[in-house]
Homo-oligomer: A and B are copies of this chain.
Amino acid sequence: MRYFIEFSYKGTAYNGWQKQKNSLGIQEILEDAFGKVLRQPVEITGSSRTDAGVHAEQQFAHFDTELPIVAPDLLVHSINGMIPRDIAVKSIRAVNKELNSRFAATHRRYEYRIIKNKNPFLINEAYLLRGDLDVVSMNAAAGFLLGLHDFESFSKIHTEVNHFRCTVSTAEWTILNDKLIFKIQANRFLRGMVRAIVGTLLEVGRGKRTVEGFKEVLQARDRKAAGPQAPAEGLFLVEVGYPAAIFNESVQA
């Protein structure tokens, strides 16, 4: 049987989603906890690989087990009691064996959150950035991201992908009280893509780069053309979308 796990985490204490040799990834924490409860090794595959310090309000992963999970809510409760407070499992649901949490996802949505004033309740959960930004120009530049483009300029180099094409369906800055939030949705994201885009858009906002100059960065297909990446603490994976049917189908045990 294949199961989808829905969960969230504050990424500050972790070296990203992925299991690594010398540092703690969220994947490892979940594999250890599920392995202990199910009393067998469990391999968990995430839908999206967030980097060190990046958060997820909604993330999905999948695993296979031959053990029947008769009370998924109880399993959620057990796992939550075993893992740290900065990771929370929301649900565990059986799906058809062919569904892969990474490849079945139709879109991901990220938010990059900037605050202008120190906030004791958002420690490591937003990028504190003083100074005025030209949000109108930042939104004009962000408009060039919409649609199907090659995003090599905003991708980490030495990344194992076949191509750099992504279809972006939302890319806009909104102001909410003293917060500035960038929402970006796409069918897929490349490694470091959102933080490189935000870092470059912030240069537009500070007047260091023109709106037209931002378009040229996208067209260059060269990471060196873009600006520095924005800090991890402001980035949240907020939604991973799947066809609604995959959770509604009755699954054969």
A interface residues with partner B (beta carbon < 8 Å): 8-10, 55, 57, 80, 85-90, 117-121, 123, 125
Structural contact, A121 and B117, CB atoms closer than 8 A: no
Q: Closest residue to A121 on the B side, CB-wise? A: B10
A216 to chain B, nearest CB (A): 36
Among candidates B9, B90, B117, B120, residue contacting A10 with C-beta atoms closer than 8 Å: B120
What chain B residues lie within 8 Å of A117 (beta carbons)? 88, 90
In the complex, besides A85-B118, A85-B120, A90-B117, 19 extra interface pairs with C-beta distance below 8 angstroms are A8-B120, A8-B121, A9-B120, A10-B120, A10-B121, A10-B123, A55-B120, A55-B121, A57-B121, A80-B118, A85-B123, A86-B120, A86-B123, A87-B120, A88-B117, A88-B118, A88-B120, A89-B118, A121-B125
Assembly CA distance A120 to B121 (angstroms): 12
22 sampled A-B residue pairs with Cβ under 8 A: A8-B119, A8-B120, A8-B121, A9-B120, A10-B120, A10-B121, A10-B123, A55-B121, A57-B121, A80-B118, A85-B118, A85-B120, A85-B123, A86-B120, A86-B123, A87-B120, A88-B117, A88-B118, A88-B120, A89-B118, A90-B117, A121-B125
